[in-house]
Amino acid sequence: MDTKERDRLIGLYRDGYRAIVDALHGADEEQLAARPAPGKWSAREIIHHLADSEMTAAIRLRLLIAFDRPTIHAYDQDVFAQRLHYDRPHESALEAFRYARECTAQILDRLSEQDWLREGTHTESGAFGVVRWLEIYATHAHSHARQIVETLDQAKKAQ
């Protein structure tokens, strides 16, 4: 990946919090709790997922940078949703997402060319490096922002 593409993805990564806040704009508690379909997450649950995913992502990047060939463990997002009480208030989760992402972006800004080449092994997908990490997480929040918009639009129509 060249520097220009890397910088673009870091910018997209940094923009993720704004995309989520924009997607949530004007939503009320009933809309935040509404599920678009059975088995699908509500906007509130998506926010909790983002917080948990971002904290996991932050640790993954740090392991890749700090240790030689670390093992990056998978996790089951549905188990997290079930066992970590995703029905609780979302405000602190949104802030956890925000600051985990900002803190990690500061690290991304300081990586050397050698750091970008670091790799480990993901327990489900095999080879997993810093570049792949960025490719995944740069767009993660934006994908969920679109999902939140769609979920809230459905909830507003149902009210």
Tell me the per-residue pLDDT of 103-128, one tens digit each, with 9 for 90 and over.
999 999 999 999 999 999 999 999 99
CATH of the domain at 63: 1.20.120.450
Tell me the per-residue pLDDT of 50-109, one tens digit each, with 9 for 90 and over.
999 999 999 999 999 999 999 999 999 999 999 999 999 999 999 999 999 999 999 999
Eight-class DSSP state of 40? S
Range of the domain at 106: 3-158
Residues 82, 55: Cα–Cα separation, whole Å: 18
Predicted TM-score (pTM) of the model is: 0.95
Q: How many domains does the chain have?
A: 1
Eight-class DSSP state of 28? -
